[in-house]
A and B are shown apart, each in its own frame.
Chain A
Amino acid sequence: MTRIVAVTAGLSVPSSTRLLTDRLAAAVAAGVPDAEVRVLELREYATDIAKHLVTGFPPANLREALDAVASADALIAVTPIFNASYSGLFKSFFDLVEPDTLTGKPVLIGATGGTPRHSLALEHAVRPLFTYLHAVVVPTSVYAASEDWGGTDGLDTRIARAADDLTALLAHRLPAQRTEPELIPFAQQLAALRPSSSSDG
């Protein structure tokens, strides 16, 4: 089984962000026979995300969602573009993933907006976020403006190409680095500080 988690940060119900997420998820599932897709609507976690931010620990519900992201084989991450970047809710959620959680994980990024003029927000905001988290972002990102939903200018093609990218990456995954940091024995920590035995002293 290949676990795909789709994180979607649309705020209205129904939302075009969710619509794009579902299209991306369906395209990926079509190319991955044993795919099991789970969609996380961040709207449903909005207050839990705020609580985690102020207390430093997640409510049980959110913990389960973060665990699902951590254990996923691949992510689909879709945000509306607000004020030229990802939405605050989207960023807040990914601010809460533990370090190394996304290391080596294939990620397909998508975004929606009212105008096509914001499409590069995917490249200057969303892609660097996941690169920082050591995820492997597929080359094709998918932006859907309002006009794309009624047009014939290639949204389907972009969705299919991005899904193919993710499918190909799933077959050649980088190793995840989820091992616990090794405990350095105390004597070694102490010795490293001794002028007589330190390599640079």
Chain B
Amino acid sequence: MSGMQFGIFSVGDVTPDPTTGRTPTEHERIKAMVAIALKAEEVGLDVFATGEHHNPPFVPSSPTTMLGWIAARTSKLLLSTSTTLITTNDPVKIAEDFAMLQHLADGRVDLMLGRGNTGPVYPWFGQDIRMGIPLAIENYALLHQLWREENVDWQGRFRSPLQAFTSTPRPLDDTPPFVWHGSIRSPEIAEQAAYYGDGFFANNIFWPKEHFQRLIELYRTRYAHYGHGTAEQAIVGLGGQVFLRKNSQDAVREFRPYFDNAPVYGHGPSLEEFTEETPLTVGSPQEVVDKTLGFRETFGDYQRQLFLVDHAGLPLKTVLEQLDLLGEEVIPVLREEFAKGRPADVPDAPTHAARVADGPAARTGTATETVEVTA
């Protein structure tokens, strides 16, 4: 697995199938999610990422439980999240859960941190939504330290102090899981990712590209500013959403009722308007290839491409067919095409093995600039 990584990310929504009116049970949806993950490995995808939600109609409230199950039944698939809530989860528990998962999965683990977009989740976990950005900053600073120092003395604003605390188990091979920071609008999060030399994932699926160009450009510039490499060497991930059939017309005909009733964009713009303005591609494998290759023109060479394929009430059987088409006709072409003209100094997508090989210096993840403090 070198160069770019390709995978899928799931929101984990329980949505009625608009063509049948049938809503899967939570049990069926959870089993479908893990079946989709196993299929992802089978068809040669690199990454499966699950969302984290704590309210209906979503099921994945316990990501490491789900990913642990998948880890036991896969051997190559990299397990990730989209996103892990850095604001409302205790960073101590994140440190423990993901280190444990890392051991069980033999290093096939990374995670994407995000603030979430559900306001009420903050009080459910004893936090204050007005503190969203400060929580993301402080909690990650602690998580970062817990994975890199054995005895942690710590005092902050949002949780009880720690004295000589050791988070167990220690990260596999003393190498913490790679961290992506996901954001759709906050420059502060791009700045945070750049400061640590972590990855930045722009979930660009619902909005036009201009917005994300600005955000990714900021991240790349600041990544270079903090001395982690050139702007072109910053670690970027992007989203996408696709529905494929061999023939474009079949894809459009089959997907339209799902689009028209989808919780996120249904009852608004037409399928044609939405595909024109956003990364959504409904069509043939070639159309998906063309659209995805276009992301490089817009955002530069990048490391990870995740597709959303299991939403809007699509039945499991259909999703598995999507994965077959992705694995057979899209991903191999994308691997080949993205490799062409990729500068040698653009880093491969991060893996545990590569990070271990790079040694401690490569994973300390602190900025090397002399920090200017303005008055």
Contacts and interface: CB of A to CB of B under 8 A. Distances in A.
B204 to A, nearest CB: 11
B340 interface: no
A192 B195 CA distance: 16
A194 B274 CA distance: 44
B146 interface: no
Interface string A167-201: 00000000000000101111111111111001001
Nearest to A201: B157
A183 B137 contact: no
B163 interface: no
- What class of interface size applies to chain B in its complex with A? 20 to 34
Given A186-B194, A193-B157, A51 B273 contact: yes
A186 B192 contact: yes
B199 to A, nearest CB: 16
Interface string B203-216: 00011100100000
B55 to A, nearest CB: 20
Nearest to B214: A180
A195 B141 CA distance: 14
A187 B265 CA distance: 38
A193 to B, nearest CB: 5
B218 A187 contact: no
A13 interface: no
Interface stretch (B165-173, B231-239, B327-335, B366-374): B366-374
A90 B323 CA distance: 45
Contacts of B360: none
B206 A56 contact: yes
A149 interface: no
B138 interface: yes
Contacts of B265: 54-55
A190 B141 contact: yes
A181 B374 CA distance: 15
B277 A59 contact: yes
Contacts of A185: 191, 371-374
Nearest to B141: A190
Contacts of A193: 134, 137-138, 141, 156-157
Nearest to A63: B208
Interface in B344-375: 367, 371-374
Contacts of A56: 206-207
A78 B284 CA distance: 48
Nearest to B133: A189
A55 B274 CA distance: 9
Contacts of B137: 186, 189-190, 193
A146 B373 CA distance: 62
B155 interface: yes
A195 B268 contact: no
A134 to B, nearest CB: 21
Contacts of B371: 185, 187
Interface in A49-84: 50-51, 53-57, 59-60
A57 B264 CA distance: 13
Contacts of A184: 188, 191
A69 to B, nearest CB: 18
B187 interface: yes
A188 B157 contact: no
A56 B188 CA distance: 21
B27 interface: no
Interface in B126-159: 133-134, 137-138, 141, 155-157
Contacts of B194: 186
A191 B375 CA distance: 13
B86 to A, nearest CB: 14
Contacts of A192: 134
B268 A59 contact: no
A55 B268 contact: yes
A186 B222 CA distance: 10
Nearest to A196: B155
Contact of B218 (A55, A183, A188, A190): A183
A55 B206 CA distance: 7
B267 interface: yes
A57 B211 CA distance: 10
Nearest to A57: B207
B227 to A, nearest CB: 13
Contacts of B157: 193, 195, 198, 201
Interface of A: 50-51, 53-57, 59-60, 181, 183-195, 198, 201
14 contacts: A54-B267, A54-B268, A55-B207, A55-B268, A183-B187, A185-B191, A186-B191, A186-B194, A186-B367, A187-B195, A187-B373, A189-B188, A189-B191, A190-B138
Given A57-B208, A57-B277, A189-B192, 13 more contacts: A53-B268, A54-B265, A54-B267, A55-B206, A55-B269, A57-B206, A57-B211, A59-B277, A183-B187, A189-B133, A193-B156, A194-B156, A195-B157
Closest 10 A/B residue pairs (Cβ) = A54-B268, A186-B195, A187-B371, A51-B269, A193-B138, A57-B207, A51-B268, A186-B191, A55-B268, A193-B157
